[in-house]
Each structure stands twice: as structure tokens, then as C-alpha cells.
Structure 1
Amino acid sequence: MNIEEFLKLIREGESERIEFKSRVTKDIHKEICALANAYGGYIIIGVGKDGKLIGCNAKEAREKISQSLLSIIPPVRIKTHVIKIDNKEFLVIEVPKSNTLCTVGGVAYIRVGNSIRPLSIHEIIMLSTELGALTWDEVPVEPFNNAKREYIEWFFDAMEKARGRKIPKEDWNRYLRSIKAVKGDKLTNAGVLFFTDVETMPHAGGRIIYMRGDEPIATKEFHGPIWKVIDEMFNELERNFKWLEVTVGAKRVRIPEYPPRAVREAIINAFAHRNYTISSDVRVFVYADRLIIKNPGGLMPGVDLDDPEHVPRNPVLSQLLYDSGYIEKYGYGIRMMRSECKKHGLVEIEFKAGANTFEVIFRKKTEELLDEEDKIILELLSEPKSSGEIERVLGLSKPTILKRLERLINLGLVKKLGSGRSTKYVRA
């Protein structure tokens, strides 16, 4: 770290990732633990709370910190940087985000704002699941008798169709135990999600939210076993896909506004890899110009979006989805979605990973569908106009104008106002 980077941190001030200390305090190990369990960050020794540069004995501070690190389990591999300004020394402790849950004396701490606090039991479970330290879906929770027989029959029938693997009925229970959908006489969380109506987990379903601008105008919720929720959510979206006319070679063809296979894969991934300890459902936001599929739970440690590998947060659930044909092959989903969007040609895809969320964004490349007359119409519709007014400017027939307006509406570029003879159109 150089002086410019150091001064930039000072200018930023204290935050969730930056802590100022005039000296090494006796609870410095808790501060390091809390940062490691959150987003990582910096502790700067020799700076007052107001950002005043006080200075410190960097060698002495480093020795004290080395001693304090011994009480953090598992160890945090910090980096330290000594900065000298005007004969004053400052010690910068660079704390990485930990891939495991760190504790001090058996207590896990986390940084919230400018302070630290112990994690609650629920937060420990949630964070452990997020870090892959706990496989939530393997935990036994409900009596096996709660499983619906028709759902079990559906699963083994789906496996035979998707994988060509026929399991004799007398071996069904043994197979479910072998993949940990059942433990002893209980369904695990994965078993509950697949073989019951999931009434004990109200946040395990999904919802589709239709948006107008930044305001929701309609919502539809979906509950039940997750394979059924996946099917129903995808069918609802596909049923409402608008169709676009494009020229391929010398032909005009109609294609759906989004690539169906990629959208279905995004929904499957959202349920397969979400963090079920977070009390939120999978949400799909439908905008005029984009589709966003958002699930609770960030990327698992070690997963790289540019070179994705199969690192399941829910290994049992992933196995059930693979057996029944929902997951085509492990580690293939992101590549396949990118490939499908490229083949579609009119949609670009973006993956956005947050601390506890993951989003797949399908965005229409509307500019590639516009010709000069479309662009003139959009210019005219900076203010509301009727189809007749557009017709007089362009000199095209009314049916042609109406067809163009319908296409621009489907692209999310124009909206219709009123009805009948008073109908007008305006740029969205």
C-alpha cells in the first residue's frame, strides 16, 4: 500500500469496512474477527476517530496484533502495511473476507456500521450456509410420513424419463436415504422441499412482480414443492412473453422476447442455489425492457462467474433436481444461459452477485430492432400523439403505423394511453 492509497482510505472515513484507532486496543482481535465475518476491510492504527493523523509505534502495534490473532479460530490471514508521513508511523491492517465463520472464545462477531456485535444463532446458521460450512438441506426436520406419495411417484417417473434409470419401488426408500433426502424416519430439508407442499417454509416459494417504471402493478405468488413452483413460474412467464418480428436472411420470423431455455435455467438455478435460511423468496421482476431473476444468497466461495464450477450450497437438492431432469449437467448453467442469449441475438445477460443476493438480468437490445422509421416515430412521441398524427408525418398507411406501434410497445419503448378514438401513444 502506498501513501496515496492510505490517504484515500482516510478521506473515505470510518464505515463498515474501515476502522480508525489511535492505538491497539485489547479487543482488536474481535474487530478483526468481525470484519472477516462481514466484507473484510481495514483497521488503521494511529488515526483518531475524527480522521486526525496521530501516529503510532508500528513495530509495537504489529507485535500486539500478532499476539491477538492467536485467539481467532480459524486464523485470519491479515496483511499489514507500515506508512510513514512527516516522521509519523501508521499501521494498516488489511483484513480479508473469511471463507469460514471466525470466532473468538467460541463467539462469532460481525461488523455492522461502525460497531461490532455477536451473531445470533439464526445469523450463524445463515452465514455458515452462505459460506458453505453448513449443508442446510441435509438436516432432518419432518416425519417421513409427511411426504406425499404422488410426489415420490412423480420423482421416480421423472428420473426414469430424464436419466433412463428405473429404480424398483421396493428400493425407493433406500435410494432417498442414499442421497440424504431422508435420514432415519425423517425428511431432510431437501426432502421437505421436494416431497411435501412446503407449508412449514413459507419463504421457500417464489413470486413474479410485474413492474411499470419503478412501481409494481401486479404480483403472483407460487407455493408448493419446488419442482412444481419452477414449472408454474416459468409457464406464467412464457405465457406472457411478447413475440417480436425479425428478419433472418430473406425471411421475417417471430421469436419470443426472451430466450425461454435461458430463462428456465435461471429460475432453476435460483431455487437450486439460494440460501433457504434467509427469510425471503425467489423473485422475478418483469419490466418493459428487462427481466430480473433474484434469489437470496450470494455466490459460494470459490465460484468465478467467468469460469463457473459446480459448488453447490444445497447438494441434496441439486441431486434431486439433477435426477428429475431440471439440472442438465453440473457447472453448465451459466455457460448455457450465455450461449442461449447469444443465439437469440436480441437479449444480453448480466450476472450480479451481492453479499447475500444473486441476480440474473436479461436485458433487451432494442436498438438492433429499430430502423429509421421506428426512430422517427420515437422522436415524434416525445409528446403524446395519435396514430393519425404519426401517419400524416411519415406518409405510411394506418395499418403499417399501428403494426409498428405495437412492435415498439412490445419492446417496451412506447406506451399506449387511453382507448378508442382518443387513443394516443407516447415514448415510455
Structure 2
Amino acid sequence: MKFTESEIVELKSSTSELKEAIVSLSAMLNKHSKGMVYFGINDVGNVLGQQIGKSTLKDISKAISDWIEPKVYPDIQSKKIQGKDCIVVKVSGHDAVYSARGRYYLRMGEEDKKLSVDELRHLVEKKNNYAYSWGAELSDFSLSKVSVATAKKFVEKGRKAGRIEYAYDSARNVLNKIHLIKGKRLLNAGRALFCEDSGVEVQAAVFAGKDKTTFVDIQSFRGPLFGLIERCEVYAKEHINWRADLSGSTRVEIPEVPVRAMKEAIINSLCHRDFYNPKTNEIAIYRDRIEIYNPGQFPFDHDPDEFIAGHGKSYPRNPLIAEAFYLAKDIERWGSGLRRIKEECDAAGVKVAFEKVSTGFQVTFYRPEGVMDQVVVRKGGQKRWSGLTKKQTIVLEQIEKKPEISRKELAHILGINPSAVQKHIQGLKDKGYMRRIGPDKGGHWEVVKG
């Protein structure tokens, strides 16, 4: 028999490594609610044997009792393995988060990871199935703060999806049915979902280049989460490029990045954000990519690839919010969001990345190469400036915002030299889209077409 280490098995050459073994036991308890340590087998699986005295097993039991909190009761046995004396220690426990000598660890593969404060909080929430999450806490808001229009729309969407059977009669009854009100006060999740003063903010911006040096547009959205989904989706759609497919009998407009994938990422970011984190959700649109950031760390004991492959178990940080999104069919199925984003992007030939960052989680959509030179048939949902290149469209947009803008400023925004800007300006003037009012110094541009 070949012995190997795993997430529930640790190998130790001898009891001289007892302290490290106890750390491993606590880490395995926190990850899998069970664990096993062999003494007398080294970490590559070679059986060395272990000297066993009269008090050896008792000493191991006492050390585990002294150093692991809360208490666990190990099964400790001496065994002959390949003719040599070894010791096998087994533990199990389901009711708590376990510490070893006052510190907390989690088994990650064959390693024991020491947990940060945020990681420990997440583990405690997970162990309690998020029953004591932010959303379940009482807010200071009464029923009078609820947006009736939002509550009515929620019921309408749920009935249309076949996930809600009741009709709207009052905001109180709706929130009672989905457990978002206690007495006269809303739970935090109820406030976030249904109040205009939700306490939730999303910052959205369009940047001229590939970093945050120069922004073209910046906005801040506040309101109920259901409304934020719609506003963020509209913002993203307004600031990406669309092309026309004329191969069929009807004209079809195709976005450079799948809209359904972006919406799924937006919903995911709002549903799984950490409301204890003071940072805001963000949508950042750069020349080469779109980033959707969520101030809520991805489960540190899991990897996004597990969920993309369909193997990850859903752990909603905000179960009350997730349930409301599900009833309204903003969430299709539990734990399937990342997979649907990946499938949509693969079908469209768009590269997407899922990244665990230090303060949260980020989905990045990479805009197709050469997009700045493609013909734009629709920008921002408006039928404007058909047939112009992306650069020409940006020139007109910038002139509308700042008529006195200089060629140098336009060059910086477009990422080209001033002489190239002049060619675009001349082309737009020749086509009648813009004109110069006044002299080069002291004058300004004017958009005259579109």
C-alpha cells in the first residue's frame, strides 16, 4: 500500500512533529470535518516506524485536548504497517470552527493555510450556512421606506417566471413572504433590495486608455439592488461597440462582448458582495477590457474553475438576497453564474478571466483586438453617426462634452499622435459632421450632424 498526503491525510515521520500534526488536524477539521495523521511514515510515503512507549498514546491525546479548541475526542491506535510500529490518529467534528494553539488554519491540498481575520469570518459564516450574515441583521428602516414600484415589479417578474404564485397586495405581505421584515423593521437584505436609500453604491467609469489615468465618463449609481442591475446593464451596453450582421434577411446588431454575460457578472457582483466591506462595486471600461469588481472575496478554499466546470457547491454570502434574485429569475440556478458567463463568452469568441483579488473578486472581459478601428453601427443604444470608425465616434463624443478640447487632448484619449487626430478631424469635417467656430486659438468645435 502506498501512503500519500491529501486534504484529509497527513504523514509524519514521528511524534517529534506532534505540534505540526495538531495544526494539520485542526485544518482538516475546518475543511472536511474530519482528518487523519499517521506517525511513523514520512511525507513521501516511506514507512519508517515509530517508537511507542507506555505513555505515547496518552501524551498525544492530552496534547490534542490541550491545543485544539473546541474539544475533540480522537481515536488513537497503534498499528503494524509493513512490519513496523506506527500510530494512527483520527478526529471528526461538525459543530464549530477549530483552532490549534489559538490560531486558525484550513487544509488546502496538502498544506495548512493560516487564516486571516477576513478568511476566518468567512469560514464562520460558511459553517453557519450564512444564517447570521449581514442581510439577516435588522436595519433601522421601516416599511414606509420600501419602494412600492420595486416590490410590484419583483412580484410581476417572479410570476412571469413561474417562481412566485401569489399576486401583489401590499409591500408588507411581499416582504413577509420572503422573510425580509421582522416586526416593524426591515432586515438589511430587505433594505438593500427594495429601498431607494439602499446603502449600496456602484461606481461606473469609462477610461480613455488601458489604465485609470484619463476618464471619459464617470457615474455613481445608488438605489435598490433590482434597479442597480438594470442601470448597470444599461451603462455597460451604452459604452460598448456594436456591429451589424447583414448576412441574413434582417439586420442583426451584435455587441463586442455578450450582453448576457456582462449582466450575469453584474448580478453576481451584487449578490455576492461583502456588505461589511466599505468599498463599492465597480464597472471599469477600458480601451482593451471591461472589469466588473465585487468587494466580496471568492471562497478562499475554492477556485473559480471548480464552478465553471460545474463541480463547485454554491455558498451564497447573502442567501436572502440570492433567494430574491432567484425568485425574480435574475439568478437562473444556484452556483451556475460563472459557468454561464464562460459559455456565453466562448460562444462569442471573447476572452474572459475570473480573478481572486486581495479585496474582492473581479470578472474581466477582453474587448476584441482592433475594436478601435471597427465600424460602429450603434453606440450607447443610439442610432447616431452610422458608418463612422470608433475613433471618429470618440472624437465627436469628446467634442460634445468639451467643445474647446485640443488636438493634444484628443490624441491622449485616443492613444494616437496629434497628426493622426488631424486626419480624423478633417475626415469628419469633409463629411459634414463637425466644424470649427472661431480661430485655432480661442475658438471651439461644434458637432453639426447626428
TM-score by length of 1: 0.60
What does 1:320-331 align with in structure 2 at a 5 Å threshold?
Answer: 320-331=324-335
**Structure 2 contact 138–187 (Cα < 8 Å) conserved:** yes
SS in 2 for 1:236: helix
The corresponding residue for 2:98 is 103
The corresponding residue for 1:318 is 322
Structure 2 residue 337 is the aligned partner of structure 1 residue 333: yes
Greater mean alpha carbon deviation, residues 56-65 or residues 173-182: 56-65
Aligned partners of 1:305, 1:291: CA distance in 2, in Å?
A: 20
Unpaired runs of 5+ residues, structure 1, are 7-20, 47-55, 78-90, 375-401
Aligned partners of 2:28, 2:315: CA distance in 1, in Å?
A: 24
**Structure 1 contact 322–328 (Cα < 8 Å) conserved:** yes
Q: Deviation per CA, 1:11-63: give whole Å up to 9, x if none.
A: xxxxxxxxxx994476974686479769xxxx9x99xxxxxxxxx99667996
Aligned partners of 2:125, 2:367: CA distance in 1, in Å?
A: 34
Unpaired runs of 5+ residues, structure 2, are 6-13, 32-36, 41-47, 75-86, 107-111, 374-387, 396-412, 425-450
Correspondence for 1:208 among 204, 209, 230: 204
Q: Deviation per CA, 1:311-353: give whole Å up to 9, x if none.
A: 433221112223334224444433433343244x241333345
SS in 1 for 2:308: coil
**Structure 1 contact 155–324 (Cα < 8 Å) conserved:** no
Structure 2 residue 150 is the aligned partner of structure 1 residue 154: yes
Pick closer, same or farther for the CA change 1:358–1:320 going to 2, 3 Å: same
Aligned partners of 1:418, 1:306: CA distance in 2, in Å?
A: 45
The one-letter code sitting in structure 2 at the alignment partner of 1:195 is F
The one-letter code sitting in structure 1 at the alignment partner of 2:258 is P
What does 1:10-25 align with in structure 2 at a 5 Å threshold?
Answer: 23-24=16-17
Greater mean alpha carbon deviation, residues 204-213 or residues 314-323: 204-213
- 1:188 deviation in Å? 1.5
The one-letter code sitting in structure 2 at the alignment partner of 1:358 is F
The one-letter code sitting in structure 2 at the alignment partner of 1:361 is T
What does 1:299-378 align with in structure 2 at a 5 Å threshold?
Answer: 299=299, 304-307=307-310, 310-343=314-347, 345-353=348-356, 357-366=360-369
- 1:235 deviation in Å? 1.6
- 1:175 deviation in Å? 3.9
Pick closer, same or farther for the CA change 1:247–1:59 going to 2, 3 Å: farther
The corresponding residue for 1:287 is 286
Structure with bigger gyration radius: 2
- 1:364 deviation in Å? 3.3
SS in 1 for 2:142: helix
**Structure 2 contact 258–345 (Cα < 8 Å) conserved:** yes
Q: RMSD between aligned alpha carbons?
A: 5.7
Aligned partners of 1:332, 1:196: CA distance in 2, in Å?
A: 28
- 1:239 deviation in Å? 1.0
SS in 1 for 2:235: helix
**Structure 1 contact 418–424 (Cα < 8 Å) conserved:** no
SS in 1 for 2:186: strand
- 1:220 deviation in Å? 3.2
Aligned partners of 1:124, 1:293: CA distance in 2, in Å?
A: 25
The corresponding residue for 2:436 is none
**Structure 1 contact 130–300 (Cα < 8 Å) conserved:** no
Identity, % of aligned pairs?
Answer: 21
**Structure 2 contact 307–339 (Cα < 8 Å) conserved:** no
Aligned partners of 1:315, 1:177: CA distance in 2, in Å?
A: 16
Q: Deviation per CA, 1:331-389: give whole Å up to 9, x if none.
A: 4433433343244x24133334568733322223438x89xxx9xxxxxxxxxxxxxxx
Structure 2 residue 138 is the aligned partner of structure 1 residue 141: yes
The corresponding residue for 2:381 is none
What does 1:169-208 align with in structure 2 at a 5 Å threshold?
Answer: 169=169, 172-198=171-197, 201=199, 204-208=200-204
What does 1:70-149 align with in structure 2 at a 5 Å threshold?
Answer: 70=65, 71-73=68-70, 102-104=97-99, 109=104, 124-129=120-125, 133-135=129-131, 136-145=133-142, 147-149=144-146
Aligned partners of 2:350, 2:115: CA distance in 1, in Å?
A: 45
Aligned partners of 1:288, 1:36: CA distance in 2, in Å?
A: 47
What does 1:50-61 align with in structure 2 at a 5 Å threshold?
Answer: none
